[in-house]
Amino acid sequence: MASAEIITVGTELLLGQLVDTNTTFIAKTLADAGIDVHRETSVGDNTERIAAAIAEALGRADAVVVAGGLGPTVDDLTREAAARATGRSQELHEPSLARIRTMFDRLGRPMADNNRRQAMMPAGAFVLDNELGTAPGFIIEEGTRAVIAVPGVPREMRAMISGQVVPWLVKRFDVTATIVTRVLNTIGLGESDLDQRIADLFHAGVNPSIAVLAHFGQVDVKLTAKAHSHDEAVAMLDELEPRIRERLPDCIYAIDGGPIEQVVGELLRIRGWTLATAESCTGGRIASMLTSVAGASDYYLGGVVSYANEAKLDFLDVAPELIERYGAVSEEVATAMAVGAQAHLRASCAIAVTGIAGPGGGSEEKPVGLVYVALAGPDATAQVRKLMLPGDREMIQRRAAMAALTMLWKAVR
């Protein structure tokens, strides 16, 4: 079994200014690929200390993965330290320099001189392209061992680890255990609620393993099977999946799917429906989620952030009497907002949210956390749901957005 160590670089880690989630991601990704991590180290922006940490780790592990210190500044010292730890010089990597220059050209800005540093690579290194930023990564092979450097910017690091580093390691170290994962994407249940429904299926060390992962208001159930062949692992998952499904009726919106906004978008596209939004307390969060998906313009027409009452009247034709009689946070206004957005944009359907996200603005009758979500569907149908959401402002906004998207998913699936 191949062994690895992880080194993260950055003085901010030693000052406790930053939680080191890069190490967690890399460790998890390597473990999933069947590579054992034996030690994790963080060092500051200091060439000697980084070089010492790399050299020590190379004495113990097959692969040393270093994250961070590839930026353009004088504090970015991983290139130099890796060269020093492996007794190499640095040399300019022309294709990387050209790539960085192109990125700046597109910005219409001159390339700073110090960005040239990012194209300096330890001699003989295999360069890893960075599609998302200026810092290329690299791999240095030292006999049977390897030093691998990736950027510290989380999204650049993640793309490079999953897309290039792990495939390289699996091939280079001939990792043979096959690991197949399957993610059941759920919506509408809290993490502990979901956990409780399936807890008796978990046992430590059991294969396939079950993990419950919560993120941004959605909860994923991740099944991981280890076997000697892909088919064997898939058969194990096929046996387990229905046992979980029967515990979670009406909650699983996709298998290995993306976030709910992507899956709902795909369903809208398939149905040929168009969508509009009207948001009060979620303040554009739903629109922002929907438009984070490439190609959203195929089904999403747009919407209104009706934060002030004037916006509800002007953009959505909500009758002022309705607001006067029932208040802006009411079933009636939520429904009128959805109907107004649908009519203005001639959309197949519209979702609307009005509520009190807090911390101010609550009253005894209408406390912080009171939210109405409404859906105006095809054929002049409308539905509305009242929610009392716990949490702070951000949690309430997030949960309200999720509730609206859940309502939409149930209508369009």
CA distance 272 to 33: 40
- If DSSP codes are grouped into helix, strand and coil, which group holds residue 99? helix
CA distance 210 to 105: 47
CA distance 19 to 39: 17
Please check whether residue 373 is in contact with residue 286, taking contact to mean a CB–CB distance below 8 angstroms: no
- The residue from 360, 364, 379, 380 that contacts a copy of itself (CB under 8 A) is 360
**Does residue number 44 form part of the binding site for a copy of itself (CB under 8 A)?**
yes
Strand partners, 5: 39, 64
Stretch of residues binding a copy of itself (CB under 8 A), selected from 49-57, 82-90, 168-176, 250-258: 49-57
Which residue, 129 or 193, is less far from a copy of itself as judged by CB? 193
C-alpha 82, offset from chain centre = 30
For residues 1 to 20, the per-residue mask of contacts with a copy of itself, x marking binding by CB under 8 A and - elsewhere, is ----------xxxxxxxxxx
Which residue, 123 or 131, is less far from a copy of itself as judged by CB? 131
**Does residue number 204 form part of the binding site for a copy of itself (CB under 8 A)?**
yes
- The residue from 1, 59, 75, 250 that contacts a copy of itself (CB under 8 A) is 75
Please check whether residue 101 is in contact with residue 185, taking contact to mean a CB–CB distance below 8 angstroms: no
Q: What is the 3-state secondary structure (H, E, C) of 338-384?
A: HHHHHHHHCCCEEEEEEECCCCCCCCCCCCCCEEEEEEECHHHCEEE
* Joined tokens for residue 266: 């795909």
**Does residue number 306 form part of the binding site for a copy of itself (CB under 8 A)?**
yes
Backbone angles phi, psi at 330, to 5 degrees: -160, 160
> Which residues within the stretch 276-295 sit at the binding site for a copy of itself (CB under 8 A)?
277, 279, 281-288, 290-292, 294-295
**Does residue number 23 form part of the binding site for a copy of itself (CB under 8 A)?**
yes
DSSP conformation class of 298: G
Stretch of residues binding a copy of itself (CB under 8 A), selected from 137-145, 225-233, 250-258, 338-346: 338-346
Q: Smallest gap, in angstroms, from Cβ of residue 360 to a copy of itself?
A: 6
- The residue from 68, 72, 151, 377 that contacts a copy of itself (CB under 8 A) is 72
- The residue from 94, 346, 365, 380 that contacts a copy of itself (CB under 8 A) is 346
- The residue from 107, 171, 364, 379 that contacts a copy of itself (CB under 8 A) is 107
**Does residue number 59 form part of the binding site for a copy of itself (CB under 8 A)?**
no
For residues 126 to 165, the per-residue mask of contacts with a copy of itself, x marking binding by CB under 8 A and - elsewhere, is -----xx-x------------------x------------
- The residue from 148, 389, 400, 408 that contacts a copy of itself (CB under 8 A) is 389
> Which residues within the stretch 231-270 sit at the binding site for a copy of itself (CB under 8 A)?
none
Backbone angles phi, psi at 274, to 5 degrees: -110, 160
- If DSSP codes are grouped into helix, strand and coil, which group holds residue 385? strand
Q: Smallest gap, in angstroms, from Cβ of residue 382 to a copy of itself?
A: 20
Please check whether residue 209 is in contact with residue 224, taking contact to mean a CB–CB distance below 8 angstroms: yes
DSSP-derived pairing of the beta strands 145-150 and 370-376: unpaired
Q: Smallest gap, in angstroms, from Cβ of residue 124 to a copy of itself?
A: 27
Q: Smallest gap, in angstroms, from Cβ of residue 175 to a copy of itself?
A: 16
> Which residues within the stretch 308-327 sit at the binding site for a copy of itself (CB under 8 A)?
308, 310-311, 314-315
Backbone angles phi, psi at 299, to 5 degrees: -130, -25
